[in-house]
Copies of this chain bind each other. A is one copy, B any other.
Amino acid sequence: MAGILVINYKAYEQAFTAVGVKLASEAAKITSKLGVRVILAVPSIIASRIVEIHGDVYVQHVDPIGFGAHTGFIPPQALKYAGVKGSLVNHSEHKMIYRDVARVVEALRDAGLESLVCADTPGEAEGLAHLRPTMIAVEPPELIGTGIPVSKARPEVITDAVEAVKRVADVPVLAGAGITDSSDVQRAVELGARGVLVASAVMKARNPDRKLWELAEPLASV
């Protein structure tokens, strides 16, 4: 079973340009050639355009509301109509209180959609595991965007998170923060992660497409 590569487009300008579109066609190729699942977590405003190129798309956030009179908020259930498969939830740059995470994860599940819930620490991950999301990603916020890979600088974060989550529920754990090259991905997998969550290393790469392939390869043979 191959690993999972999640690319968070964030709100980098590249996300909205041809760079984001090109990444989507590479993601489609990687999935078919390597068998690696590549999830693109894109800004909501470009989601339906990216979905046409690569079928495996998440948005970066949904709101703890249902359909109704809400202006500028996205109900989890709305993703289905846009062909989007799921959402990041509680990302370090978009934190929610526990109760709202619970509400969103449940609404996504009820709609047949996926949730990738983020945690800063193994402790936060353990609490969130009770919500039984599709996946949990652990990302020490102090390493995000630094190029200092969690899998090398703080390997115990990954092993502790894997163990803490397992105590509660059978939910795959991804690792993120500072993941920059294929050896960082390799190491994360060795520590028990089922995949990685990457943003700047791809989005701000000189050659984003090549970087995408580089990070996907170690996940082919997991």
Contact = CB atoms under 8 A, between A and B. Distances in A.
B126 A74 contact: no
Contact of A199 (B43, B69, B123, B145): B69
A5 to B, nearest CB: 17
A98 B98 contact: yes
Quick one: copies of this chain in the complex?
4
Interface residues of A, number: 66
Given A11-B75, A16-B78, A95-B97, A69 B145 contact: yes
Interface in A41-93: 41, 43-49, 59-61, 65, 67-75, 77-79, 81-82, 84, 88, 91-93
Nearest to A11: B70
Looking at chain A's contact residues, is the secondary structure mostly helix, strand, loop, or mixed? Answer: mixed
A61 B69 contact: no
Given A48-B45, A49-B48, A59-B45, A10 B99 contact: no
Given A65-B11, A67-B12, A123-B131, A59 B46 contact: no
A97 B96 contact: yes
Contacts of A17: 81
A33 interface: no
A73 B94 contact: yes
